[in-house]
Structure 1
Amino acid sequence: MTDKTTSHAQSETGTPAIRPMPKVVPITGTDVIDALGAGLMDFRRAPVYGLVIGAFFAVGGLFVVLTAGALNMSYLSYPAAAGFVLLGPFAAVGLYEVSRRLQTGEPLSWSSIFGAMWAQKGRELSWMAFVVLFIQIMWMYQVRLLLALFLGFRSFSSFEEFMTQVLTTSDGLMFLAVGHVVGAILSLILFSLTVVSFPLLLEEDRDFITAMITSVKAVFTSPLPMLGWGLVVTLVLVVSMLPGFLGLVITLPVLGHTTWHLYKKCVVNDGQEAA
């Protein structure tokens, strides 16, 4: 991993020189497929790490849903679960480190993986985690706001009652439609800000603003491949949530490893070449 002690290069005169922005290069759909193949290979090469991280994330999702039920707010189970999945980029940091070590030939161990994650606690990656959390809070806030606007300030005794109200009334269907549109917009914003920012911050000594700008540039440089990948991620995560989040045990590590390789294909850092 690169030296984390300074974020500026030194010029010949000894004065700090601003580092250039990471270079973003265009990718194609073939690059996305290649990255997916590399992600699957990483999962097969080090399955234990992926399965444990995926299982931990799946248990977290179940905890969120069960907590909503225990608080007699089961009608929030679906939006709470969807909001929890937004934390996926942060949860995948350990997977990025696994892929990085596999790519560089460094040894794998739980101490090295958790050590790399723990080392980020006081660095810029922590600010990116805050950005993700902020968008999750916005997601839950807009759900409550839309509930009040379309269904009124009322509670539901069960998730079944809530779904009946949503699926059989015009107000409920409008809530469902508007909620999914707003959710899609927030998801697109989050995807654009984080698709390569977390891997970049893990590998490079960069500030989180630079990481987010680079991530957005990557999406705008290759909109169709990137948005296609975002759609794949969304569909895979939705399907993975259906069997009690158990699908995430497998799909989260594969998606995480793939994201690392996608980052290596579209972002060129100092002295590096795109994969």
Structure 2
Amino acid sequence: MTAFHVMAGSGAGLAHPDIRRIGVADVFDALRLGWQDFNAKPSHYVFLCLIYPIAGVVLATWSSGVNMLPLLYPLASGFALLGPVAAIGLYEISRRREIGMDTSWRHVFAVRRSPALASILGLAFMLVVLFVVWLVVAQALYMKLFGDVPATSLSQLAHQVFATEQGWSLFLVGNAVGFVFAVIVLSTVVVSFPLLLERDVGAVAAIETSVRATLANPVPVAVWGLIVAAGLVIGSIPVFVGLAVIMPILGHATWHLYRKMVVVTKGK
């Protein structure tokens, strides 16, 4: 029964929320609303989201070892795969602000009392698995092109990637593979976590709803994906500090994008 609840939610079967068709203007409006949510109490959110730059610096430091250096870029880019999990608390703040409830920082942790916690954890585990698979694929691709002797410095790694034929193959193929991972994650979780916070529909229904929302709004979702990618790049320079602002804004905006695309009504 527990497994079924995780898959199908608290009801007797899969929920199928209705999907709205939106435009690119709605995406930028969601971004504007996300900025307003962040701007309401930025000190709270910057404090809570320091985990992003801290984690980024830790990843960079950890990767500075000889054996892990080639994974520096896959780690930094793959970190975005885990962003939807880390932003769950921000979705909750936006949800509470929308309906006029208290938005104190402690409510970021209210998800632990959510009826859909098991489904949320299931989706989070899926993203962690995708993150690990991405790292394995990236490492395998590097070793196939350069052998099992990794670069010993950032300058040597840069030379390998940008000044050799194998490096350009790594750059092109690696980014193409990364794009596939990004599309999978974007299409399956663009509205999944916000939906589960609002209604315990189960992991399967949340993913199915997210895929339907993507298929119904391919251009707006693609634009959203580009905004997220650009934001992560900008926020990562220098040393990931900007992520303390970029990530919470994107997190809040994700909630508003969900509200624009998904119609949640009782029994559906």
| TM-score normalised according to structure 2 size | 0.91
Tell me, yes or no, if structure 1 residue 145 matches structure 2 residue 144.
no
Runs of 4+ in 1 over 4 A off after TM superposition: 117-122
In structure 2, what residue type is equivalent to 1:172? G
Tell me, yes or no, if structure 1 residue 7 matches structure 2 residue 2.
no
For structure 1, the 5+ residue unaligned runs are 1-5, 9-16
- Structure 1 segment 109-120 matched on structure 2, within 5 A: 109-117=104-112, 119=114
Q: Which of the pair has the greater relative contact order for Cα pairs under 8 Å at 6+ separation?
A: 2
More divergent stretch after superposition (62-71 vs 176-185): 62-71
Count of aligned pairs between the two proteins = 260
CA RMSD of superposed structures (Å): 2.0
Contact 2:88/2:193, CA 8 A, preserved across alignment: yes
Shift of 1:182: 0.3
Tell me, yes or no, if structure 1 residue 44 matches structure 2 residue 39.
yes
Q: Aligned residue for 1:215? A: 210
In structure 1, what residue type is equivalent to 2:240? F
Provide the C-alpha distance between the structure 1 equivalents of 2:115 and 2:141, rounded to a whole number of angstroms.
36
In structure 2, what residue type is equivalent to 1:235? A
Provide the C-alpha distance between the structure 1 equivalents of 2:76 and 2:48, rounded to a whole number of angstroms.
18
- Indicate how the Cα distance of structure 1 residues 77 and 107 shifts in structure 2: closer, same or farther if over 3 A, else same: same
Correspondent of 1:69 among 64, 69, 92 = 64
- Indicate how the Cα distance of structure 1 residues 49 and 145 shifts in structure 2: closer, same or farther if over 3 A, else same: same
- The one-character-per-residue Cα deviations of 1:194-235 (angstroms, maximum 9, x if unpaired) are 110011111111111110111111110011111111111111
| TM-score normalised according to structure 1 size | 0.89
In structure 1, what residue type is equivalent to 2:221? M
Q: Aligned residue for 2:13? A: 18
Provide the C-alpha distance between the structure 1 equivalents of 2:165 and 2:265, rounded to a whole number of angstroms.
55
- Structure 1 segment 81-120 matched on structure 2, within 5 A: 81-117=76-112, 119=114
Shift of 1:76: 1.8
Provide the C-alpha distance between the structure 2 equivalents of 1:78 and 1:118, rounded to a whole number of angstroms.
36
Percent sequence identity over aligned pairs: 36
Tell me, yes or no, if structure 1 residue 234 matches structure 2 residue 237.
no
In structure 2, what residue type is equivalent to 1:203? E
Provide the C-alpha distance between the structure 2 equivalents of 1:146 and 1:95, rounded to a whole number of angstroms.
35
For structure 2, the 5+ residue unaligned runs are 1-8
- The one-character-per-residue Cα deviations of 1:57-103 (angstroms, maximum 9, x if unpaired) are 11111111111114652232121111122211011101101101100
Tell me, yes or no, if structure 1 residue 247 matches structure 2 residue 250.
no
In structure 1, what residue type is equivalent to 2:49? G
